[in-house]
Structure 1
Amino acid sequence: MTETKQDEPFRIGLIATDPLRVVGLQTIISEQGGAEVVTVASPGALDASGVSLVLVDAACTDHLFELLETFRRSRPHLRLIVIGLEEDHDYIQKVIGAGAKGYLSHTARENEIRMAIEIVLDGSVWAPRKVLARLLEASAGERRGPLPEPKFTERETQVLELLVAGRPNRDIAEALGIDAATVKAHVGRLMRKMGVENRIALSVQAVNRNLVRK
C-alpha cells in the first residue's frame, strides 16, 4: 500500500450513513493489506483516530463542499476520497478543486476502490482521465517561462513512466524488481529535479513536457 510495514495495520476513516454501503466498504477495505476502517461522523471525530485517509460518501450530506472546506482548513494534510452518484466531469473537477484527492462513483468496482486508495495514499490524485487532463492543462497554463531540460537516469525514467501511468509505489517496485523504499527515493529525486513538491505535479510536468513515452 505505502511504505507502511506489512505487519503494521493502517487506518482509513469512513464518513457514511447508508448501512449497506458502510458494510460493503468495510469489507472491501479490510481485505486490502489488513487495513482497519474507522467510521466517523465529522472531522472533529478524527482527533484520536490515527487515520491519514478518509472516504466520504457524498450521499450522507447535503453540504459536501462545506465539509471538504472544513477538512481543508482544519486538517490540510489529510487525504480525502469522495464517493458519489455524480459522474459529470465538471462536478468531479469541482470536488477535486475543493480539496479531495480522489473521486469514485457509487458503481465503482472493488478493484477500482482498492487502486484509488493506493494511488491517493502514494500522493497522487484519482479521478476520471478527462478530469485529470483538465488538471494537466490548468497546471500547464500556470507555468511561467521556459524550464531547463532535466536529466534522468535510466531507472528514474522507468519509475517516472510507471508513475505517470498511475501505478502506486508497490506496483512500481514489483515491476522493476526493487523495494518500495527505493521507489520512494527515486520519486523524491525526480521531484527535486523537476522542481515540484508532490507526485501529481511531477506527473503533470512529465506529460506536459513530453518527458515520458506515450
Structure 2
Amino acid sequence: MLSKGAAQAMKDTKDKKVKKAKGSLRVGLVAADPLRILGLQTIFPDGGPVEVVPLSVPGALDASGVSLILIDSACTEHIFELLATFRRTRPRFRLMVLGLEEDHEHIQRIIGAGAKGYLAHSAKESEIRMAIDVVQDGSVWAPRKVLARLLESTSAGAETTTKPAKEPKFTKRELQVLRLLAAGHPNPAIGRELGIDVGTVKKHVGNLMRKVGVDNRIALSVQAVNQKLLLKR
C-alpha cells in the first residue's frame, strides 16, 4: 500500500501530465500499421507540444479535442470518399494524408478533395514537424510543383475578383510578416525571425488578410505577388 507522500507524488505527476496534454496540440492519427503509429508517437513523445492520438475511422469522425487529423491512405481503399465524408461531417478538421504515391496529379487530387497537406511515407522527421506547423497555421503542405499549380488556379480566380477600393496600407511589422509568409514560412518560423510570439504573428496575418480582402494565407500570398504588395515601403 502506498504512503500518503507517495500517493500525493503520483497524483502531482499525473496532474502535470494532464496540464501538459491540455496545452499541447492533439493530432489524430488514422492508421492500420502499428509501426506507423509507433513511429509518429516516437517523433512526438508524451509531454511534448504535439500529442499523437491513434484513432479508428469511426473514432476520427466522432473525435473531440483534436483539430488536425493524419490519415494513412494505406488504411483504406477509399481515401477520396473518406475525405469527402470528413468535409461533409467535420468541416473544421484540418486533414493531412500520408501515402506511398508521389505522383503530382494524385497529390493535387488529394488536396482538391479537402486535404490540407500530403506527406510521403518516406518523409523525414523534420519534414513531418514542419508540415504539421504549416497546416495548423492554415496553409497547405505539398510538393512545390503541386503548390505552384494550386497558386496558379487561385491566382486565376483572384484576377476575376474585385480589388479593394483603396490600396491597402501596412505597418512596417505587417510588411515584414507578409514577406516571410509569401516566402513560405509558417507562423512559428516567422515569430522566431522577428522575435515575436506566435499569437502576435497570427494577429498580423489576420490584419493583412482583412486589409487585402482575402480569407486564407494562400490567397494572401498570391495577392501580395500579383499586386506587388511586397515592394511597399
Residue 94 (structure 1) shift: 0.5
The counterpart of 1:14, out of the listed 21, 26, 29, is: 29
Written as runs of structure 1 = structure 2, the 5 A alignment for 1:167-178 is: 167-178=185-196
SS of residue in 2 equivalent to 1:100? coil
In 1, Cα distance between equivalents of 2:225 and 2:99: 28
The one of 70, 77, 86 aligned to 1:71? 86
Residue number in structure 1 paired with 2:75? 60
| 1:21-74 deviation per Cα after TM superposition (whole angstroms, max 9, x unaligned) | 111011113379432211111154453441100111111110000000000000
Match of 1:23 among 38, 42, 45: 38
TM-score, normalized by length of structure 2? 0.83
Shift of 1:212: 3.0
> 1:124 and 1:202 mapped to 2: Cα distance?
11
The DSSP-based 3-state class of the residue aligned with 1:187 is helix
**Amino acid in structure 2 at the alignment position of 1:23:** L
Q: Identify which range, 161-170 or 63-72, moves more after superposition.
A: 161-170
Partner of 1:196, secondary structure, is: coil
Q: Could you state the TM-score of these two structures normalised by the residue count of structure 1?
A: 0.90
Evaluate the alpha carbon distance shift between residue 102 and residue 145 of structure 1 in structure 2; reply closer, same or farther with a 3 A threshold: closer
Kept in 2: contact 1:80–1:102 (CA 8 A):
yes
Of the candidates 99, 114, 137, which is equivalent to residue 84 of structure 1? 99
Q: 1:147 aligns with which of 163, 168, 180?
A: 163
Indicate the percent of aligned positions where both proteins have the same amino acid.
66
In 1, the alpha carbon distance for the partners of 2:77 and 2:47 equals 30
Structure number with bigger Rg: 2
Deviations 1:169-189 (A, max 9, x none): 222111111222211111111
Are 2:61 and 2:86, in contact at CA under 8 Å, matched by a contact in 1? no
One of 149, 153, 163 as aligned partner of 1:134: 149
Moved more, 30-39 or 167-176: 30-39
21-30 or 142-151: bigger deviation: 142-151
Matching of residue 119 in structure 1 with residue 134 in structure 2: yes
Offset, 1:165? 1.9
Aligned to 1:191: 209
Q: How does 1:100-111 map to 2 (within 5 A)?
A: 100-111=115-126
**Which stretches in structure 1 are left out of the alignment for 5+ residues?**
none
Give the unaligned 5+ runs of structure 2: 1-19
Q: Conserved in 2, the CA contact under 8 Å of 1:101 and 1:126?
A: yes
Report the RMSD for the aligned CA atoms in angstroms.
Answer: 2.1
Q: Give the partner amino acid of 2:23.
A: E
The number of residue pairs the alignment matches comes to 209
CA shift at 1:203, angstroms?
1.8
Distance 1:112 1:153, change over 3 A: same
When residues 161 and 32 of structure 1 are mapped into structure 2, their CA distance, relative to the original with a 3 A threshold, is farther
Contact 1:11 / 1:37 at 8 angstroms: preserved in 2? Answer: yes
